[in-house]
């Protein structure tokens, strides 16, 4: 196999190979070897050039990701929240982006609108938590969900007001959803109960999660990690990526990706060992869902897995702990009333978190 | 090689294989064989179940993509534009999404914010064209670009107005960008000069491009195809995709992708043979850019390639035709004034289009 044959020399950045499969077809392969991603917990993960490239292309004006700066910011914010007697939740949300080329034109993306994370963050704030919202740039955002999607629907929801001076106002039809959302958003931000941090690339997510986890660790058992982001399981190390855009004229594409180390392990063992940690498991095959959830609890030693199946994730989940499994679901009536499953999830987990704090205390 | 060994029976949907590479490592592979994508131009491309699944997950309420419905809609709109003596441009914009699983959780994405397409559409409307804007859902949209990105920035740009009745207005700081954009958008939509069509999955893009191209073909040389979308070169046929989410617990991932057939060929030869067709070529390696552009013109027999390099694409391009290459770029002064390169691109291409119509006429 082209991607895994012994090699005469170590592969260099930009290396790729073209081989024949013996049936007259030629394959290019990009092969993974060692990885720079994890590092020991005492080292700061540097965000490689690829993250910077992605950010440039995302048209952000912001500076490069500075995990140390983020750690300081979260630490100061967390101390304020603790002083006010608030519990803190770190909610991760949205999917990660994994580049396939060094000057990346193509990416592997995990599906996630970020709806679960955004809806949960709203509910957690309502339940009295201060929420650090670590989310994919441009994914669903708490309360902004009430706005029409960016594009023609948003333009159509705005009206020119003649003035003078001329202005812009929301169309009456948009107000019933928009007014309460804007009010709640204002209340949350004025109370400092929402701290938003953005990521795009997988490496940014990993660096920022670690920074935030360390910053929150001093809060002990009163901090909840609510890990709803859809994190890629696979990536290509920077050192193994082709420098330039992969040329389609050279034939079919074969990509070999390495596994992303699971961050749950260092999170639970080292970064925030006293915290209440909830992970999410999304499967398309209901048959394997509970087994995989239990395996995760065994392996990572955290407190809760919220298990869900792609097709039914909006209306039912199973809350799995080491000694229990609790299905939560919306009735047809609740669905008709516009209730969201996140209301039940957050309410249940808040109770579990209280019990956890009491056991620890 | 696992993905290309002769097989005892045809592979079925959901098939995947686990093999050893002889070095103690195990690989799963997903292998491509034949493809359902192109079809003959007389057949309507049916949009397979994967597109429907993607759409469901994208939280759209809209019906499934109906290429025939779109063809009818574009045809009626185009006839109206022709009756008013307007030239028509079909602008494609944004990146395509390629699922890696049948019930897709992971996708291959091409990088594209859609900025080029959206900015060009604005310029084309100003130049008197009626624009059919075939764009990736949620990518940059003409004039909506003037709004802050969805999320906290957008929420912060809105103010509660006390009333009665209570309302929502744009913050004063947002008005200088928002007012002219909203005015131009209203003018364009009231004149029927903007017809927006959305895609997400690659198969949707292909089906809708063909539908729109056929609908516009009767306009002959007065229609311009401005193909700025970043279309994936690679995909996995539906029949070859694993049914369920690829399990990371089984080790590294190897993906083999087939090449997407280039749509330029049937577009130029069959769907709209009289039209003025412009394609875009984005490379990261400037060395190969012009050669690849000329090769494309030779191969597809269309009129223009707009060639650009990833790093400099915002400030310079080269307009390549069979017998010319014309660099266009922004001066430092023009950049400082906020001018966009699309103004120059559209102005130049409008002139080329006029000459093309005269030659044809």
* Chain B residues inside the 8 Å CB shell of A117: none
Q: Do A109 and B104 touch (CB under 8 A)?
A: no
Helix, coil or strand: residue A91: strand
Confidence of residue A65 (pLDDT cuts 50, 70, 90): low
* Total Cβ atoms within 10 A of residue B327: 10
Burial B128-141 (b: 16+ CB within 10 A, else e): ebbbbbbbbbbbbb
Residue environment code for B194-232, b if the CB has 16+ CB neighbours within 10 A, otherwise e: bbebbbbbbbbbbbbbbbbbbbbbebbbbbbbbbbbbbb
Average pLDDT over residues B171-176: 93
Give A93-111 pLDDT, tens digit per residue. Answer: 999 999 887 776 788 888 8
Asked whether residue B296 is domain-assigned, the answer is no
Token representation of residue A307: 């298990």
**Helices marked H in chain A:** 49-57, 67-83, 115-126, 152-156, 175-190, 202-216, 264-266, 289-300, 332-336, 341-360
Residue A147, Cβ neighbours under 10 Å: how many? Answer: 23
Contact call for B284 and A4, based on CB within 8 A: no
CA distances from B244 to A192, A282, A288, B101 (A): 41, 11, 11, 6
State how far the Cα of A275 lies from the Cα of A223, in Å rounded to an integer.
Answer: 5
Six token digits for residue B354: 């006029």
Which residues of chain A neighbour B168 with C-beta distances below 8 Å? 169-170, 174-175, 178-179, 182
Q: Which of A114, A116, A168, A187 to mutate to test the interface with B (most CBs of B within 10 A)?
A: A168
Q: Which of B137, B144, B254 sits opposite A3 (nearest CB)?
A: B254
> Using 50, 70 and 90 to split pLDDT, how confident is the model at A9?
very low
Could you tell me the residue range of the domain that residue A188 belongs to?
A: 45-247+260-274
Q: Which residues, listed in sequence order, are joined to residue B173 by a DSSP beta bridge?
A: none
Q: Which of B95, B51, B68, B39 is nearest to B201 (CA)?
A: B51
Work out the burial of residue A220: count CB atoms within 10 Å of its CB; fewer than 13 is exposed, 13-18 middle, 19 or more buried: middle
Helix (H) or strand (E) holding B92: strand B88-93
Q: How far is CA B260 from CA A100, A252, B264, in A?
A: 18, 9, 12
Instruction: Look at residue B348 and tell me if it is in a domain.
Output: no
Pick the residue with more confidence: A6 or A197?
A: A197
pLDDT category of residue A337 using cuts at 50, 70 and 90:
very high
Structural domain includes residue A56: yes
More confident site: A309 or A118: A118
Name the burial class of residue A255, with classes exposed (0-12), middle (13-18) and buried (19+) by CB atoms within 10 angstroms of its CB. buried
* Chain A residues within 8 A of B187 when measuring between CB atoms: none
**CB–CB of B150 and A160 under 8 A?**
no
Which residue(s) pair with A223 in the sheet? A88
Q: What is the mean pLDDT of residues B46-71?
A: 49
Percent of chain A with pLDDT over 90: 61
Q: How many helices (H) and strands (E) in chain B?
A: 10, 16
Q: Are A183 and A66 in contact (CB under 8 A)?
A: no
pLDDT in tens, A285-311: 888 899 999 999 999 999 999 999 888
Q: Which residues of B touch A178 (CB under 8 A)?
A: 158, 168
Q: Are A222 and A87 in contact (CB under 8 A)?
A: yes
Residue B70 binned pLDDT confidence (cut-offs 50, 70, 90): very high
Distance from CA of B361 to the nearest CA of A (A): 36
Measure in Å the smallest separation between the Cα of B152 and chain A Cα atoms.
7
The reported pTM is 0.80
Q: Which residues of A touch B147 (CB under 8 A)?
A: 150, 154-155
Which residues of chain A are within 8 Å of residue B259 when distances are taken between CB atoms? 248, 251-253
3-state secondary structure of B331: coil
Residue A80 has pLDDT above 80, yes or no: yes
Q: Is the pLDDT of residue A17 over 50?
A: no
Strand partners, B274: none
What pLDDT was estimated at residue B65?
A: 57
Q: Are strands A276-283 and B253-259 parallel, antiparallel or unpaired?
A: unpaired
User: Is residue B234 included in any domain, yes or no?
Assistant: yes
Whether A221 contacts A356, CB under 8 Å? yes
Residues 6+ apart with CB under 8 A from A44: A67, A68, A207
Interchain CB distance below 8 Å, B6 and A23: yes
**Which residues are CB-neighbours of A117 under 8 A, at least 6 positions away?**
A91, A92, A93, A94, A133, A135, A139, A140, A226, A228, A229
Option in B154, B168, B186 nearest A144 (CB): B154
Would the CB atoms of B104 and A110 count as touching at under 8 Å?
Answer: no
**φ, ψ at A132 (rounded to 5°):** -95, 115
Query: Contact A113/B256, CB-based, under 8 Å?
Result: no
Q: Please tell me the distance from the alpha carbon of residue A212 to that of residue A135, in angstroms, as a whole number.
A: 12
pLDDT at A285: 84
Contact assignment for A23 to B32 by CB distance below 8 Å: no
ipTM of the prediction: 0.78
Mean pLDDT of chain A: 81
Put simply, the answer to whether A59 touches B254 (Cβ < 8 Å) is no
**Residue of chain B minimizing CA distance to A243:** B284
* A158 within domain boundaries: yes
Contact B226, B91 (CB under 8 A): yes
Distance, in Å, from the CA atom of B341 to the CA atom of B314, rounded to the nearest integer, reads 6
Asked if the structure places residue B27 within a domain, the reply is: no
The stretch B166-182 carries a mean pLDDT of 94
* B31 in a structural domain: no
Is the pLDDT higher at A234 or at B33? Answer: A234
Query: Which among B147, B245, B284 has the least Cβ separation from residue A284?
Result: B245
Neighbours of B157 (CB within 10 A): 18
Q: What CATH code is carried by the domain that includes residue A104?
A: 3.40.50.10300
- Residue in the structure block whose two tokens are 């957690």: A124
| Residue A312 CB neighbour total at 10 angstroms | 12
In Å, how far from its chain's centre is CA B13? Answer: 28
Taking alpha carbons only, the member of A74, A243, A273, A34 closest to residue B284 is A243
3-class DSSP state of B85: coil
Q: For residue B278, give the H/E element and its range.
A: strand B276-283
A196 chain-B contacts, CB cut-off 8 A: 151-152
Q: Which residues of B touch A186 (CB under 8 A)?
A: 160
Nearest to A178 among B168, B196, B232 (CB): B168
Closest CA to B253 of B90, B78, B17: B17
Report how far residue A80's alpha carbon sits from residue A192's, in angstroms, rounded to the nearest whole number.
9
Q: Is A105 helix (H, G, I), strand (E, B) or coil?
A: coil
Interface contact A161-B182, CB threshold 8 A: no
Residue A152 to residue B169, Cβ atoms within 8 A: no
Asked if residue A345 belongs to a domain, the reply is no
Lowest mean pLDDT among A88-97, B26-35, B339-348: B26-35
CA A88 to chain B, closest CA, distance in angstroms equals 20
Q: For chains A and B, what is the number of CB pairs under 8 angstroms?
A: 242
Long-range pairs for A164-169: beta carbons < 8 A, 24 or more residues apart = A166/B175, A166/B179, A167/B169, A167/B170, A167/B175, A168/B169, A168/B170, A168/B174, A168/B175, A168/B178, A168/B179, A168/B182, A169/B161, A169/B167, A169/B168, A169/B169, A169/B170
Give the pLDDT confidence of B78-123 residue by residue, as tens digits: 999 999 999 999 999 999 999 887 776 788 888 889 999 999 999 9
Region A129-143 average pLDDT = 96
With CA atoms as reference, report the closest residue to A245 among B153, B12, B136, B309.
Answer: B309
Dihedral over Cα of B99, B101, B105, B106: its sign: negative
Contact criterion met (CB below 8 Å) for B104 and B54: yes
* pLDDT for A335 beyond 60: yes
B344: how many CB neighbours lie within 10 A of its CB? 18
Q: A259 to chain B: nearest residue by CA?
A: B252
Quickly count helices (H) and strands (E) in chain A.
Answer: 10, 16
Complete DSSP assignment for A202-267: HHHHHHHHHHHHHHHGGGGGGEEEEE--B--SEE--GGGS-SSPPPGGG--EEEEEEEPPPSHHHI
B107 contacts on A by Cβ (under 8 Å): 108-111
DSSP B270: I
Closest CA to A38 of A209, A200, A228: A209
Residue B62 clears pLDDT 50, i.e. is over it: no
Number of domains in chain A: 1
Residue of B nearest to A110 (CA): B106
Look at B170 and A169 and tell me if their CB atoms are within 8 Å: yes
Q: Give the model's confidence band at B223: pLDDT under 50 very low, under 70 low, under 90 confident, else very high.
A: very high
Least confident of A266-270, A347-351, B33-37, B105-109: B33-37
Higher-confidence residue: A61 or A180? A180
Residue of A nearest to B1 (CA): A1
Tokens of A358: 């009491």
């Amino acid at each position: 196999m082209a991607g895994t044959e012994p090699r005469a020399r170590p592969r260099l950045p930009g290396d790729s190979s073209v081989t024949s499969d013996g049936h007259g077809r030629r394959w290019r392969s990009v092969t993974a070897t060692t990885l720079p991603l994890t590092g020991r917990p005492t080292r700061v993960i540097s965000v490689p050039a690829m993250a910077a490239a992605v950010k440039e292309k995302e048209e952000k004006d912001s500076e490069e990701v500075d995990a140390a700066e983020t750690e300081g910011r979260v630490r100061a914010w967390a101390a304020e929240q603790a002083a006010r007697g608030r519990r803190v939740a770190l909610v991760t949300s949205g999917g990660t982006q994994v580049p396939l080329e060094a000057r990346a034109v193509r990416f592997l993306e995990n599906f996630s609108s970020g709806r679960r994370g955004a809806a949960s963050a709203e509910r957690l704030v309502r339940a009295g938590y201060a929420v650090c919202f670590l989310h994919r740039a441009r994914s669903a955002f708490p309360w902004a969900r009430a706005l029409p999607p960016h594009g023609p629907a948003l333009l159509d929801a705005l009206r020119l007001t003649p003035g003078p001076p001329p202005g812009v106002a929301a169309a009456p039809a948009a107000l019933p959803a928009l007014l309460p959302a804007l009010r709640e958003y204002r209340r949350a931000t004025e109370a400092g109960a929402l701290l938003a941090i953005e990521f795009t690339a997988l490496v940014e997510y990993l660096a920022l999660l670690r920074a935030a986890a360390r910053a929150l660790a001093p809060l002990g058992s009163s901090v909840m990690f609510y890990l709803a982001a859809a994190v890629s399981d696979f990536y290509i190390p920077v050192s193994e990526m082709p420098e330039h855009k992969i040329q389609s004229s050279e034939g079919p594409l074969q990509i070999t990706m390495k596994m992303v180390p699971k961050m749950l392990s260092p999170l639970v063992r080292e970064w925030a060992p006293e915290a209440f940690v909830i992970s999410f498991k999304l499967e398309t095959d209901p048959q394997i869902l509970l087994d995989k959830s239990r395996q995760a609890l065994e392996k990572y030693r955290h407190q809760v897995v919220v298990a869900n199946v792609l097709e039914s994730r909006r209306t039912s989940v199973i809350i799995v702990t080491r000694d229990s499994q609790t299905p939560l679901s919306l009735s047809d009536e609740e669905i008709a009333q516009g209730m969201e499953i996140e209301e039940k999830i957050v309410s249940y987990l808040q109770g579990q978190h209280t019990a956890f704090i009491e056991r620890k205390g």
